[in-house]
Structure formats: C-alpha cells, structure tokens
Amino acid sequence: MLRHSLRVRLLLPVLALVLAVVVVVALVLATIEANRVKADAAASIKSQTSSLQSLLAVTRSIMLDSVHSSMRLLRQESDVLGTPSAGSEITVSGRHANELLLGNKPQSNTFQLVDSVTSTMGGTATLFSSAEDGFVRVSTNIKKDDGSRATGTQLDPHGPVIAEIRKGLAFYGVVDILGNPYVTGYEPIYDGKNPKPIGIWYVGYKTDLQVLDDVISDSHVLDSGFIALFDSKGKLRFHSKTGGTTDPALIEKVAQEQPSDWSVEKEDVPGWGFTLVSAYPKSDIESVIARQSIWIGIIGLLICFILLGLQSVLIWTRVLQPIQHLTAVADELSVGKWDHTIEEVKLKDEIGTLAKAIARLSNSVRLAMDRLNKR
C-alpha cells in the first residue's frame, strides 16, 4: 500500500518539516508586515497633516498681515472723523444698542467708513457698539446669506473675542462669523471716560480655503481611511473624497465616537481653532496582512512542492532504483541465476555495501554450483 511505500516514508518527514517552516515563516512575515503597514500609515498621516499644518500656518500669516494693515487704515479714518463716544440707546435691525459716535457723528446704519476701508484694502470691516448683553454690529459690510448687511447681529457672547475685549485687549486670529471662518482683528474702542469699551473696531478677511479643500479631498489613509478638518464649533469643513470613506455622516461619527475598530488621531491647528482628524479602520491593516499571508503561503507551498519533487527524484535515483535492481538480482539468485552485472558496487554508501555483499553471495553461489557440476 501507498502508506507502506519507502518513498512515502522518506518524503513525509521532509514534507512535515517544510510545512512547519512555511507556517513559521508566514507568521513571522505577517508580524513584520503588520508593523510595516502601521508604520507606513503613521508616516503617511504625519506627512499629510504636516503639509496641511504648514499650508494653514502660511495662509494665516499672510492674511494677518493684511488684517493689521486694514486695521491701521480703519483707525486712521476713524480718527479723522473725531473722538469716539457713546450716544443714547438706539435700535438696529431689531436689537437694542448704544449709538456709537465719532466726532458726534452717529455711525449706526452709516456705511461710508467701513466701505471706504474695504474698497482700499478688501476684506470686511465693522463697527460694534456696546449693548446691555454684549456688542452689536451697528455698521458693517459683512453680508448675511440673503445678501443683506449683518447689522443688528451680536458678537458671539461665548467666543474667544469678547473675553479678550472685556480684558481691554485686542484680538487677532481666526473666528467663525455667521458660519464662515475669518482671519480677523478686533480692538476695543474707548471714549476716554469709561474704563469699559464702548465699542469695537473690526476688520477681517473671509478665508479662501479652496487650495486646502483640494489637498484634503485628494488625501486618504490606506484603503478606507480619511483626513478631515473640523472648525472650532465641531463642524466638518473639509474631508477626503477619495478612498473607501467619503460619507460626511460616517466621518463625523468616527471622529466623535472614535470606535474601537478604528485608529483615530486628532491634532489642533494652532491659531485657527481647527482640529485635524486622521483615521483608518483596523480592518485595512488586517486585509493587507491577509493578502500578504496568502501570497506568502502560495509561494511557500510552491517551494514545498519543488523541494518535494527534487527530493522524490533524488530518492528514486539514489535509493529506490538501486534497491529495486538489487532486489531483482536477489530474486534471480534464488532461482539459480547468478550471471549478473551489479553496477551498484561502485557506490560508496550503504547501498554500495549491500551491493558488494550480494555480489559476494552471487559469486559464492556460482562457485558452489560449479563444484557440484564437476562431481
């Protein structure tokens, strides 16, 4: 039977050893591949986020230069009109505030000053006046979604600007204005009598982040990962539009909940209040490892079959074929045939030793038969 075959018994240990080596090598290479994929993912995230951080830093720096220049012009033109002071209470677009006077000239619903500044410097400009619960825009060229001027709207009472203004400090940075990010400058207005600000000078530029949108849209991590940018209020601004995860709802869910089957990294964008989120599903790494393991297994099996084939040929030519020939010689000796040529006696191994013993036996039988025939 096949299981009693000498060839099978000689090949089985080789097969077991080769298969064990293939399994061990596959496990080692799978571990190495897992570490490599994780390192590549981390390097890809670092490279892409560093580029985005640099782009945002340069954009902010350039725009802040324009903000400072525009603020100087606004202050200069305000000085030309006269000393600031607070007037009586007025209503601007349905909201109560104190009238803001420059040289006794009311500024509410008067847009010559703010429009003059922006016609020269671009961007937007606003005069805020104090109100019981904060500061209200009484003159502005910031537009609402319907295209009308945003007079009567209030400075965010919980934002970073008002905290600085109440301390008597200026604020320069990125803020959200009516749902859009602006690079801005705010400086308190005093009347020389009241220690509290009676208003605020504002200039700002709406950020044109189309380049940033293009860069983030083309970015992704592994097969299904993404990079996303959230603003200071947690609103998703930009996200990857390539790769396996492009649904904004899923991106927001992953960023907020950070599920255990995802690897999620967050980092703040200095000066913007934005948050960069990089994430990829752990299954991406598992799928890469699975693909690599399959290839390693296939290659290992091919090597196994090749080795087994070579071993089988060697066993046949070096062991089984000589044994079969010596077995045939022994069978013929048993029926009185001793005229054989035994080439295997030239071998220097155990088979050669066996062949020499059979050759001696054959010669002894032949001599014995010759003596019997002479009687």
Q: Please tell me whether the overall predicted TM-score, pTM, comes out greater than 0.75 for this model.
A: no
Q: Domain for residue 37, yes or no?
A: no
Number of domains observed in the structure of the chain: 2
CA dihedral 269, 224, 246, 231 (to 10 degrees): -10
CA dist 365 and 244 (Å) reads 84
Which pLDDT tens digit goes with each residue over 15-38? 677 777 777 777 787 778 778 878
Tokens of 340: 């054989």
Residues 87 and 202 reside in one and the same domain: yes
Has residue 255 been placed in a domain? no
Specify if 137 maps to a domain.
yes
Span 278-327, pLDDT tens digits: 998 888 877 777 777 777 778 777 877 787 777 777 767 766 677 777 77
Does the residue 41 lie in any domain?
Answer: no
Among 185, 208, 231, which residue terminates a domain?
A: 208
Q: What is the CATH number of the domain that holds 343?
A: 1.10.8.500
pLDDT score of 104 more than 60: yes
Give domain status of residue 9, yes or no: no
Q: Are residues 182 and 296 in the same domain?
A: no
What's the pLDDT score for residue 232? Answer: 79
- Look at 160 and 364; give whichever has higher pLDDT: 160
For residue 318, being part of any structural domain is answered with yes
Q: Is residue 89 located within the same domain as residue 201?
A: yes
* Residue pLDDT, tens place only, 197-253: 999 999 999 887 777 888 888 888 888 889 999 987 888 888 898 878 889 999 999
Are residues 127 and 100 in contact, defined by beta-carbon separation less than 8 angstroms? yes
Long-range contacts of 336-340 (CB under 8 A, 24+ apart): 336/369, 338/362, 338/363, 338/365, 338/366, 338/369, 339/366
Cα separation of 26 and 240, whole Å? 34
Domain boundary among 175, 208, 241: 208
The last residue of one of the domains, among 208, 243, 269, is 208
**Cα(244)–Cα(224) distance, rounded to whole angstroms?**
4
pLDDT per residue as tens digits for the range 148-164: 999 999 998 888 899 99
Residue-number span of the structural domain to which 150 is assigned: 82-208
